Amino acid sequence: MKVLFVCIGNICRSPIAEGVLQHMSDKKNLGWEVQSAAVRNYHIGKPPHTSSQKVCAEHGVDISNQKAMLFKKEHLEQYDRIYAMATDVIEEIKDIAGKDFDEEKVHLFLDYKYPGENQSVVDPYYGDDDGYLPVYQQINEVCELIVERYSK
């Protein structure tokens, strides 16, 4: 399975999700390909935020080699599942995709834990390092649900 996580700048939430899900896939030998992207070009080509790298490293997940990339309409064809980390991100994906938007393929990430509640993963970018641990924990929990659902 090919999975893409998408957030605003691709340096906080989506790289953590990419790293966590890829780590889980590798541990279970699922063979999934996991990546992440941004809907805005603020940080393209740059590594994840240092706090994202730090919280992942503290949990045995290395995201230091990731580089932010821009979400493109073509990604709708290239990935089996696309997860928006926030409601504003899913709206931007819809704008980018236009008539090619696929509700069967693109989902709000937290819908796996809170179906139909339209909840967003909090963006820790504007806070301090302490805000990254709860984001990591929430992402880890939802990634476990995704693995449980699609590894059968």
Positions annotated as catalytic residues are: 7, 13, 123
Backbone angles phi, psi at 50, to 5 degrees: -55, -35
With the C-alpha atoms ordered 7, 11, 13, 15, is the resulting torsion angle positive or negative? positive
**Encoded tokens for 95:** 């704008």
Q: Where are the beta strands (DSSP E) in the chain?
A: 2-7, 33-38, 81-84, 106-108
Q: Is the CB of residue 41 less than 8 Å from the CB of residue 70?
A: yes
**Encoded tokens for 120:** 């967003």
Rounded Cα–Cα distance for residues 113 and 131 (Å): 20
Distance of CA 81 to the CA centre of its chain: 11
Runs of H (alpha helix) within 79-129: 87-97
